[in-house]
Structure 1
Amino acid sequence: MLYLVRMDVAFPESMPADERDRLKAAEKEFSQALQRDGRFRHIWRVVGEYANYSVFDVASNDELHEILSGFPLFPYMTMKVTPLAKHPNAID
């Protein structure tokens, strides 16, 4: 099943820079592992924002929830999940 997920990140202003850097490094490692195993198919930055659009290919809603809640930045994210279906006009 394919899902489009918009992720917006907002760190608390009081968060120390070293903690923010540690979380960003952990986030990169976590997300790249998901990309390598094929479940995190695409990630696109939203220009001018600390946000992205991502496409996940997973077996179920529960698997997607487990992945999203496992992101190190999850406590600082707002997410919008859109399930995707193949369009009848698509040639691929």
Structure 2
Amino acid sequence: MLFKVEMTVNIPSSLPKEQVEEVKAKEKAYSQRLQREGKWPHIWRVVGQYANVSIFDVADNQELHEILTALPLYPWMEISVQPLCAHPSSIYTEQTSSK
């Protein structure tokens, strides 16, 4: 199943810089592993914000929930999820999930 996920990160300024850097490093490693596995095929930065728009390609709602709640930055995120399906007017056949 394909999902559009919008994430906005709001790290509290009271968090020690060393802890923030450690969490960000863990987040990067985790997200890149998911990208290599094909579960997070697209990620775009939202200009001027600590936010992204991503496409996830996972088996179901439960798998997406487990992935998102395991994000190291999850405690400081606002997340919006929308399930996706192929558009009938699209000229691309690759829009459907391979899962």
Identity of aligned residues (%): 54
- d(CA) in 1 for partners of 2:18, 2:45: 23
Q: TM-score, normalised by structure 1?
A: 0.99
- Unaligned segments of structure 1, at least 5 residues: none
Aligned pairs for 1:1-92 within 5 A: 1-92=1-92
**What CA RMSD, in Å, does the superposition of the two structures yield over aligned residues?**
0.4
CA deviation after TM superposition for structure 1 residue 72, in Å:
0.3
- Unaligned segments of structure 2, at least 5 residues: 93-99
Q: Secondary structure at the match of 1:13?
A: coil
CA deviation after TM superposition for structure 1 residue 18, in Å:
0.4
- d(CA) in 2 for partners of 1:91, 1:12: 44
Greater than 2 Å deviation, 4+ residue runs = none
CA deviation after TM superposition for structure 1 residue 67, in Å:
0.3
Q: TM-score, normalised by structure 2?
A: 0.92
CA offsets per residue over residues 43-81 of structure 1, 9 Å max, x none?
000000000000000010000000000100000000000
2:6 partner letter: R
The total of aligned residue pairs comes to 92
